[in-house]
Structures are given as C-alpha cells and as structure tokens.
Amino acid sequence: MQIAGQTNVTSIRFGSGSVNGIGKDLGRFVVATMELPWSITEGKLGADPVAVLMVESMEQEFVDQQVASAPPCDTVVGIGGGQAIDLAKYFAWKKGCRLVTIPTVISVDAFVTPAAAVRQNHRVLYVGESSPDPLIIDYDLIRTAPSDLNVAGAGDLLSIHTATFDWEVAHRAGKSEYPYSQDDIQTARAILETVAENASEIRALSDRGLRTIVEGYMRVNTICLPAGHYRVEEGSEHFLFYELEERLKKPFIHGQIVGLGIYVMSRLQKNRVEWITSLMDELGLRYQPVDMGIPKDAMVASLQVLEPFTRKRGLWYSQIQETPLDLAQIEGLLRGLRF
Ligand SMILES: [Zn+2]
C-alpha cells in the first residue's frame, strides 16, 4: 500500500508470508543483518544476495568500511532488529540505492524513522535520511522474536501519555522550546487511545496487535517529522531513562525502561496514574526494576539528581522542573515498584 500523510515510509506490505520471494524483485541486492534473523529469512527470499553484511559494530568508522567494501548493487535489504535496519539505512543513504526493510522484531521504531543511528566513540549519532520501499511487516516472522521484546515495542507509544503532559506543562510555564500545538497533542493522544483499545491484541501479538504498533509508530512520524521534533512522545519518562543509563552503564530494552519512566513520571504529574498503570499491566509490558536489574538506591539517587541532570543536558522543560523532590516524595513515587 502507498502511504498517505508525511512519513518517511514510501510503501508498506503487511501480512504473514509477505517476505516470501521478495528477493526476485530487487535486482542485485546486499543484505544487512545478524546471524539469527538471517538464518530464519535466508530461505524465504527466493534469490541470493550479492553480499551479506553482518552487524559487528555500529561505530561509524567500521560501518563506513563495510559499506565501501560491498559490491555494487541496486538495493540494500535490512533484516533484523534496530541495528541491522540502521546499517541498511546508512548503506542506502551513502550509496543512494533502494532500501527495503524487514524488521524481525518491533521492539524499537528504527524501521520507520529516517535517520540511521551510528556511534562515534560510543555516543549515538543520528545521520542521513532514507525511506524503505517497501517496509515489509511479516507477522509470522516478527512472532519468532521473544514476545517480551515485541510487547516492549508499545513503550514509545505509551510515552505519549507523559510526554504530551510535559509539553502542556512547558507551554503553561512559557518554556516550550517549539511552537506549541494542541492539534499535535490531540492527534498523539488518539494514537494512545488506539493502543488502549487494542491492548489484548497487542498482548497476544496477534496480526492486529502488531499492526497497531507499527501504524502507531507511523502516525507518530506524521506528527513529528513535519514538526521537526519528537516532543509528543519524548518527555520526562525518557529523561529518567537517560539518567539511569548513564548511571548504571548498561543497555536496557527501550520500551521497558521507558515504561518504568512512565510509571514514575505519571505519578509525579498526577496524570491518570491508575489508567496508564493498568494499561501497561494489561499489555504485559515488563517495567518493574527487578526485571531490569535496577537497584532501589540507584533509582532514588537518579531521581534526586534528575532536575540538574536535565538542565545540564539541555533536555526539554517538563514536570521535573516544576516539582523539586525530597526523599519522602521519591518514596511515594516508587510505591508499588518491585526491586
Ligand atoms: Zn523512545
């Protein structure tokens, strides 16, 4: 199907088995992937690639060498999770060739965003611009990934709950960094409503549930790409995650750690706490600190320094600036969490 509205996805194919035989229509193609996703898709493409690039490192220098040494091709196909898709996006941008993306898990939104995430000295950098044609959402393929990871894909949609609230807070305080748009906030909240209406489908990872997540990401893009920022889905819940990541120096599953941020920040905001918490529970999103190996003292320390942290990092104005936290308040925010 062709895509209406502003998104970077040129065309999309939904359906179980939609990956079958795709290799026949791509001319000479290079695959960017990892061992596991490649092992489950290799036999389905119906044609052989001229080269297979395995994700080894996303350091830009390394990726540049990989791209430069690849044989000439018409198309690059990204098969896998975020990094494989990012490698393909980067390749397509550098070479100016056609991009096809086949996510095998939908835990992150890399497959609908235009820029590729690469690293320079271990810091993430977003570069280039690319549009998949088509993006292929093969439900059966995606269901081969661990279900916790796919459910976590809803995390960046749920963050609309706290992020839009933060934008309203910033607007009221006269501190919004961007022209405030009530329309964008309403449109984003409608996406969140769709997630809530389809919660049991998402939990079950039915075709409809997976499609809800993918379309949710694309609808977020139709708001954020024209606006030039992601304020409707990135706010205080993400900022807490940035601090925890820097503090604990370990990787997290994005949607899960964002879920923890939503739990805490919806309480700080006094923002429909029961509703969003039961929605996360209904989806089966794992947001408990115990699931992610986050000790309570780290969590407390993180919240104690969060306000200066967001200022130092130049992060957007949010509820964090409005409510200075003492220890008793932090205890209150963490009630119900398991460490
Ligand atoms: Zn996010």
Closest among 251, 273, 252 to 262, alpha carbons compared: 273
Q: What is the largest CA-CA distance in the chain?
A: 63
Alpha carbon of 299 to ligand 1 centroid (Å): 19
Q: How far, in Å, from the CA of 206 to the mean position of ligand 1?
A: 23
Give residue 153 CA to ligand 1 midpoint distance, Å: 10
Q: What mean pLDDT is predicted for residues 221-237?
A: 94
Q: Are 99 and 76 in contact (CB under 8 A)?
A: yes
Find the 72 Cα to ligand 1 centroid distance in Å. 35
What's the gap in Å between 316 CA and the centre of ligand 1?
14
Ligand 1 mean position, distance from CA 27 (Å): 35
User: Separation of 24 CA from ligand 1 center, angstroms?
Assistant: 35
Please tell me the predicted confidence (pLDDT) of residue 1: 53
Residue 5 pLDDT level (bands cut at 50, 70, 90)? low
- Give the pLDDT confidence score for residue 108 in this predicted structure: 83
The Cα-based distances of 277 to 47, 63, 109, 286 in angstroms read 46, 40, 22, 11
- Give which of 141, 94, 138 is closest to 116, Cα–Cα: 94
Q: Which pLDDT band, with edges at 50, 70 and 90, does 4 fall under?
A: very low
What average pLDDT does the segment 38-55 reach? 97
* 252-273 tens-digit pLDDT: 999 999 999 999 999 999 999 9
Per-residue pLDDT, 121: 85
Q: Which residues pair with 80 in a beta bridge?
A: 103
- Compute the distance from residue 251 Cα to the ligand 1 centre, in Å: 14
Whole-prediction pTM:
0.93
- Give the relative orientation of helices 182-197 and 207-227 as an angle to the nearest 10 degrees: 170
Per-residue pLDDT, averaged over 45-70, amounts to 97
- Rounded Cα–Cα distance for residues 127 and 113 (Å): 11
Contact 230, 224 (CB under 8 A): yes
pLDDT digit string, tens, across residues 115-151: 999 999 878 899 999 999 999 999 999 999 999 999 9
What separation in Å is there between the alpha carbon of 116 and the centre of ligand 1?
15
Q: How much distance in Å is there from the Cα of 157 to the middle of ligand 1? A: 8
- Across the range 185-196, mean pLDDT stands at 98
* Per-residue pLDDT reduced to its tens digit, 274-328: 999 999 999 999 999 999 999 999 999 999 999 999 999 999 999 999 998 999 9
Q: How confident is the model at residue 6 (pLDDT cuts 50, 70, 90)?
A: low
Q: Are 307 and 320 in contact (CB under 8 A)?
A: yes
Express as a percent the part of the chain with pLDDT over 70: 98
Sketch out the chain's domains with CATH numbers: 12-142 (3.40.50.1970), 147-334 (1.20.1090.10)
CA 218–ligand 1 middle distance (angstroms): 14
- List, in order, residues 6 or more apart from 276 with CB less than 8 Å away: 158, 161, 162, 262, 263, 266
Residue 263 CA to ligand 1 center (angstroms) comes to: 15
Mean pLDDT, the chain, rounded, equals 95
pLDDT at residue 105, as a whole number: 96
Q: For residue 92, how far is its CA from the centre of ligand 1 (angstroms)?
A: 24
Spell out the residues 6+ positions from residue 24 whose beta carbon is closer than 8 angstroms to its own: 46, 47
How remote is the CA of residue 70 from the centroid of ligand 1, in Å? 32
pLDDT of residue 110: 83
CA of 255 to the centre of ligand 1 (A): 7
Q: How far is the CA of 238 from the centre of ligand 1 (A)?
A: 7
pLDDT score recorded for residue 97: 97
What separation in Å is there between the alpha carbon of 150 and the centre of ligand 1?
A: 14
Using the predicted structure, report yes or no on whether residue 112 has a pLDDT greater than 90.
Answer: no
241 CA distance to ligand 1 middle (Å): 9
pLDDT at res. 158: 98
